[in-house]
Amino acid sequence: ILKTLNSWFWWENIWMPINCTWADFVDRDGLVFPKPHQLYATIPCAFVLLIIRFFSERYVAIPLAKALGIKNVRRVKPQPNPVLESYFRECSRHPSQSDIKGLAKKCNCTVHLVEKWFRRRRNLEIPTVLQKFKEAFWRFSFYLTSSIVGFIFLYDKPWFYDIWQTWVGYPFQTLLPSQYWYYMAEIGFYWSLIFTLGIDIKRKASACVVSHVVHHLAAIGLMSGSWCGNYVRLGTLVIFVHDTADFWLEAAKMFNYARWEKTCNMLFIIFSIAFFITRMILLPFWILRATLYQPTYYSTTPVIAYFLFNGMLLILQGLHLYWGYLIFKILKRFVFLK
């Protein structure tokens, strides 16, 4: 069954134009092509990034937070109590007064002690400002580095200025070393975010959690698929457009946690402008135009991958519209309600 599914998945008509086979993608005459098995390297990349994250948070983020006046608040842990812990996890974090009295009898202690235990236990679930700062610092560091490196990789490429160049010579476009490392690092980063979903700051709104998970999985699927189909030129442009706005948001969060209000407000306004330029203008009217419209000039029979990749890009654009709505609401409050 697995062999049959594998043959269906790698069927040429899914990935490449008519009259092309996988045999045509063997390295030759100076041409180097992306290979699906190279994506296995993204998992070790994810663990390397997790190690870098650990040391950067410990030796850079924490001293920086202290310099900005953020203190490490130590919360008092409640005494171990299996009965109360079981109720906390399985029933409710906010027991009613009658339940508190019942639990007090069961544990042979006072109502006051039970209330105190639940209060301390709830406080443990709330992330400290330092934890939030460390996570924002890591994302800021990665997105800023990725944006700078991405610009260095792309600024001298013709397709950075003329989007039509992404299709010239397709599918026989050689893979550059810079494109290889750019992809491995980006996919590895999103894997690392999925690996740490259980320990990162938990969002309050379930819709926010779902949108983050959908975004991470769609990003990994889109980048992996574009790698296999050798849509690497377009892929690097999509990555660059996404990362250039994100580090402004993480910087605004960091200064918000440090209570630098004016700096935070200024950075959030810059982020909002960058977000609307990159996600609401460049992505739909520049990149999506190149993926939806321009391929029809090169082939009258679009392959299945055309619909798969554009479907995932449209999912991402839908998330951008949702996040754009939230950003607009915040800006509206900021301008009119101070």
Check which CATH number belongs to the domain holding 109 and give it.
1.10.10.60
Range of the domain at 163: 32-69+128-337
Whether residues 143 and 166 share a domain: the answer is yes
Residues 325 and 281 in one domain: yes
Instruction: Mark whether 214 and 166 lie in a shared domain.
Output: yes
Tell me what pLDDT residue 189 has.
Answer: 95
Is residue 303 a part of any domain in this protein?
A: yes
Domain shared by 153 and 200, yes or no? yes
Question: Is 58 in the same domain as 90?
Answer: no
Is 163 found in the same domain as 118?
no
pLDDT tens for residues 221-275? 889 989 988 899 999 999 999 999 999 999 999 999 999 999 999 999 999 999 9
CB 143 within 8 A of CB 247: yes
* Residue 25 domain flag: no
Helix locations, the chain, DSSP H: 2-9, 12-15, 42-56, 62-67, 82-90, 97-107, 111-125, 129-154, 177-195, 206-228, 232-257, 261-277, 288-292, 304-336
| 105-128 residue pLDDT tens | 888 888 888 888 888 888 877 778
Q: Give the SS3 label for residue 312.
A: helix
* Domain stop point among 90, 106, 123: 123
Distance CA 129, CA 254 (A): 10
Q: Do 110 and 259 have their domain in common?
A: no
Number of structural domains (the chain) is 2
Between CA 183 and CA 149 the distance in angstroms is 12
Whether residue 14 lies inside any domain: the answer is no
Looking at the structure, tell me whether residues 55 and 152 fall in a common domain.
Answer: yes
